[in-house]
Amino acid sequence: MPLNLQKNLPAIDLLKKEHIFVMDSLRASTQDIRPLRMVILNLMPLKVTTETDLIRLLSNTPLQVELNFMKIKRHTPKNTPIEHMREFYKDFDNLSDTYYDGLIVTGAPVEQLPFRSVAYWEELAGILDWARTHVTSTLYICWAAQAALHHFYGIPKYDLPAKMFGVFTHAMNEPYLPIFRGFDEEFYVPHSRHTEIRREDIVQVPDLRLLSESAEAGVYMVMSRGGREFYITGHSEYAPTTLHEEYRRDLSKGLPIRQPRNYYRNNDPSQGPLVRWRGHANLLFTNWLNYYVYQETPYRIEDIRHLENL
């Protein structure tokens, strides 16, 4: 089944060029199916790029997905037209009474700030608490994973001596969990971050399960509450050229940046990227939707209110 998206969302035309089937809400309303109700809190600066990356992966499922976008009320993005935000995004206040099957919270370019120095920290903390009573399963990505682990479990983040930047191999600690269905023993994930969370802090918390790590990139996937929450430190959703664009951006700003590791063919930027993470990325999102969202969510959206008592 396709994704049910708001009409005129720029990602629709971009994905149709890739032969990905999406449809607008008017057409979807004629189908007698209760779609999965999903919401994305998009904290990334390039909203349209992130929307497209996530929709591309969410569309790779036989499930019909109805997708909404949430924004932080206290933050005005600088790199996305205000008209786009007004048309496609809603403040948390307008969505807080809604129950969702799934929530994705993206990374944000604030990772080098202390959590409580982030201008919208208090609003974000309120959304994280709300998700525990209004969402079946939540996927936290990159800085959002660090933020949620700190908010719920007091896990600290640490500055890295240099940016963790490139594509790295990862292994599974619990390979028979449904989230890893179809994974190879080693799989690739892009990373782009200046901070990290550490294994020794995670394993000391009984409610957290460290599911996947990388010898080079460290902690990758943590789970809590039986799959109600996943914390992912990498960017499995990245498009093939995203790391290249970030590399060129940092070079143009004169920032101390090395070329992304294990990314370019023969480590030569002129030869372009060798894309080795798309298979894993599709499996990750498909498994999450199927086993932790669809199979766990109530048949009727009204019944999700039982989550308040869990």
Positions annotated as catalytic residues are 142, 235, 237
β-pairing verdict for 65-71 and 89-91 = parallel
Handedness of CA 212, 216, 218, 220 (dihedral sign): negative
Run of H or E including 5:
strand 3-5
Distances (CA, A) of 111 to 2, 135, 156: 34, 25, 12
Contact 246, 213 (CB under 8 A): no
Residue 34 has phi, psi (to 5 degrees) of -85, 105
Contact 238, 190 (CB under 8 A): yes
